[in-house]
Chains A and B, each alone.
Chain A
Amino acid sequence: MNWIAIAVTFKLALLTAVVLLVVGLPIAYWLTFSKWRWKFIVESVVALPLVLPPTVLGFYILVAIGPHSPVGRFYSDVVGHPLPFTFEGLLLASILYSLPFAVQPFTAAFEQVDRRLIETSWTLGASKLKTFFQLIVPLSTTGLITGAVLSFAHTLGEFGVVLMVGGNIEGETRTVSIDIYDEVQALNYAGAAKTALLLLVVSYGVLLLVYAMNRKVWAVWPQR
């Protein structure tokens, strides 16, 4: 089994989930509470990676961060090397690719929070920020964990985007799904089967966790 690829993949998935937890919260908050009439435009943009072919997303990211774009040139001037085909480039792509998998459960959880509680908190003088962290977030834990876990799992298995912007470099951008592809081409079916099984088990485990957490009958954590 290719432990280097496994380590790269878990590192990528974990960082993606962490970043999405940070970036996704304000986006989800805004999507839930904004009364702007054109909000659906932003909602559609956030959901786009769900339906967009990964190669299309990968192509645009590649062009956007490549040496011919201003963003790409700025990055390589500052950091000293270009962004495509590096771990950082792959991380950026994964964040965009998994965005809806984090934001949508977050939004769903925020919508479940009783409006009266939120408005009471505001009326009692708590700032919006304080209300968010001390009321909304604690009441949305399940949704937040679901979003983080789903974006983690989704990143574990991404292939098309990685193929486009990753470049399959060992220890850097060769993820587990690319490693399976490589092993099959090297006719090493036994190696591919082992890694595939690992991915299957982890993916199933993650979904078990999500569904167990979201079930109505009894909660894994006792009700507060």
Chain B
Amino acid sequence: MIQIIIALCMLMITGVNVAVAEVITIGAASDLNFAFREIAMEYEKASGNQVRLTLGSSGNFYAQIQNGAPFDLYFSADISYPRKLEEAGRTVPGSLYQYAVGRIVLWAGKDSHLDLSRGLEILREPAIRKIAIANPKHAPYGRAAVAAMEHFKVYDQVKDKLILGENISQAAQFIESGACDIGIIALSLAVAPAMKSKGTYWEVPAETHPLLEQGAVILKSSKQQESAKQFLAFIKGERGQEIMKRYGFTVPSAG
């Protein structure tokens, strides 16, 4: 019995630690869910390094980094978080990079028969019972959704219908699964293959909410700063930009 347990232990320990090249750990906003899986795969092929991707809400990552989370790179959906880390001296100087501008869309499933061209006004419809957004407390896309609803003066009427996802991917999952009737999610998720065929979307005009400027930094505590720089360069490069654009991100013109 004891031998079996020891053998199992060995198997697990060695099974986990097979790492030849460098491993970079990335905390990324969940609007990057599909785009970054593709980018990570291509980067791994090109560099031979390994990417450990953790997706979540930008605000949660910010709190975790302050508590010592071991990320090498942090991709936030709101550049103010990495900026605050930079001011606190927790980042590699000069590494702050605005990698994209995000957009929000109104999304509904194909069989909902909602006329999304009416824009956010449609949220007032009594037939709509549940509206999914990301939690505005710590998710930038949730804040943008609330700002847009306020801009169209529908927020007060619909705020009781709001269902808050822990991050924007969860909000997207809520509507994709039919648990919510409609939702405001990231364009990058709406155009991803997993969602595109299942619903329709309407782009919320960018001027109706604060710009979703997205920022990345390399963290000072990183032990793989060279590889982290290399990954950042890959995002800035032609291939990275092409993928980001395909997922609906506006990328900075000068690489």
Nearest Cβ on chain B to A144's Cβ, whole angstroms: 13
Report if A14 contacts B (CB, 8 A). Answer: yes
Nearest Cβ on chain B to A150's Cβ, whole angstroms: 17
Q: Which of B8, B30, B68 has a CB less than 8 Å from the CB of A85?
A: B68
Nearest Cβ on chain B to A205's Cβ, whole angstroms: 15
Report if A159 contacts B (CB, 8 A). Answer: no
Q: Are A186 and B33 in contact (CB under 8 A)?
A: yes
Q: Are B64 and A185 in contact (CB under 8 A)?
A: no
Cα A215 to Cα B56 in complex, Å, equals: 45
Nearest Cβ on chain A to B166's Cβ, whole angstroms: 9
Report if B5 contacts A (CB, 8 A). Answer: yes
Question: Interface SS of chain A: helix, strand, loop or mixed?
Answer: loop
Given contacts A11-B16, A66-B67, A66-B68, contact A186 B5 (CB under 8 A): no
Nearest Cβ on chain B to A179's Cβ, whole angstroms: 11
**How many A residues touch B, CB cutoff 8 Å?**
31
Q: Are B67 and A170 in contact (CB under 8 A)?
A: no
Nearest Cβ on chain A to B72's Cβ, whole angstroms: 11
Chain A residues, CB < 8 A from B15: 3-4, 7
Q: Which B residues from 33 to 58 make CB contacts under 8 A with A?
A: 33-34, 37, 52-56
Chain A residues, CB < 8 A from B169: 185-186
Chain A residues, CB < 8 A from B12: 7, 10-11, 14
Nearest Cβ on chain B to A35's Cβ, whole angstroms: 36
Q: Are B30 and A185 in contact (CB under 8 A)?
A: yes
Cα A163 to Cα B34 in complex, Å, equals: 22
Q: Are B55 and A76 in contact (CB under 8 A)?
A: no
Report if A32 contacts B (CB, 8 A). Answer: no
A residues in contact (CB < 8 Å) with B: 3-4, 7-8, 10-11, 14, 62, 66-67, 72, 76, 81-86, 167-172, 174, 182, 184-188
24 contacts between A and B (CB under 8 A): A3-B15, A4-B15, A11-B9, A11-B13, A14-B5, A81-B68, A82-B67, A82-B70, A84-B64, A84-B68, A84-B69, A85-B64, A167-B69, A168-B56, A169-B70, A171-B23, A171-B52, A172-B52, A174-B54, A182-B55, A185-B30, A185-B172, A186-B33, A187-B172
